[in-house]
Amino acid sequence: MKYKELGKTGLRISAVGLGTMVHAGHFGAMKDSESLSAIDTAFELGVNFIDTSDAYGAGYSETLLGNALKGRRDKVILATKGGNVMVGPNRGKRIFDADYISQVMDESLKRLQTDYIDLYQLHNPTVDVIEHGEVWQVLERAKQAGKIRHYGVSINTMEEGVAAIKDGRAETVQVEYNLLAQEPRETIFPLAEKANVGIIARVPLKRGILTGKLTVADETRFQGEDVRARSFKGEAFAKELAKAEQLKFLVHGPVKNLCQAAIAFCIAHPAVSVVIPGARNAEQMRENASGADVDIPAADTDKVAELWQRGFAA
């Protein structure tokens, strides 16, 4: 496993981490035994960064993780998030009021069964919250009290990421970055490198599209609360799969599959401290971690950039 520093936090973390949204059932039904096997395997492979959120299963992912980390809390750099409301009359809203964040942070600490969180992230705050929110004072007080060690943001838009870095208070920025979504490389990464803000790259496999294993027929599997049921539909899904097909040239030499190539691509950018693919089970965790074992040749990286810049058009 490769290790990098997480920006100005100084934390030394594995280049491949573990995202736990999948363990709350957001991508189809899960067995806790499989989730726990993924976590156990992560430790076995040298993975020391795990990312979760109070929004994943309305706290379920945090509870599962808290149980899994008993007796080995000191072996992991633990990150969670707050701000997305998943229960009650405000479900579906994002709240970053000082009192609310203070409350849900304490609830996360209880579910995670820990005295401190290594990295607490605001979960998709708006530009206005980033620039003017009183929530930063809550985070700083929590840091001084020892409840959290560092804080940052998880963002949806490039504008939010730019605002967070320019504001100067966030130590990290979590953003979607992958072979099909390379905007951060142009808009956020240069600023992050200059400011020494750690980048956490999420969705490196584009919800499974960049594993090279999905086909158009898989659309029928995405039902109910599966988040892919909303976006993996019809022509749009087929187009994304076609783009992934164009990227299979990356699979050669030491690179054994597209999943490995997709993760290695994210790790390769110097601004990226860690990539956090989800893993349903031990097998997927091993496959994801192997992305740290290979390098993408410069010629292939250049071709990827060219494909993206022309929208994967023929």
Interhelix angle 258-268/298-309, nearest 10 degrees: 90
Q: How far apart are CA 85 and CA 68, in angstroms?
A: 24
Helix (H, G, I), strand (E, B) or coil at 302: helix
Of 166, 187, 165, residue with least CA distance to 176: 187
Of 190, 181, 207, 196, residue with least CA distance to 307: 181
CB crowding 161-175: b at 16 or more within 10 Å, else e: bbbbbebebbbbbbb
Q: DSSP character for 138?
A: H
Q: Is 3 a catalytic residue?
A: no
Which residue bears the tokens 């790259």?
201
Report yes or no: 157 and 166 within 8 Å, Cβ to Cβ: no
From the list 3, 56, 60, 116, the catalytic residue is: 56
Sheet containing 18-19, strands listed edge to edge, beginning at the edge strand earlier in sequence: 18-19, 49-51, 77-82, 117-123, 148-154, 172-176, 198-202, 272-275
Helix (H, G, I), strand (E, B) or coil at 192: helix
Of 111, 116, 108, 106, residue with least CA distance to 81: 108
Largest CA distance in the chain: 56
C-alpha distances in Å from residue 277, one per residue of 162, 274, 289, 306: 23, 10, 9, 25
DSSP 10-35: --EEESB-EE-GGGGTBTB---HHHH
First to last CA, the chain: 37
Task: Name the residues annotated as catalytic.
Answer: 56
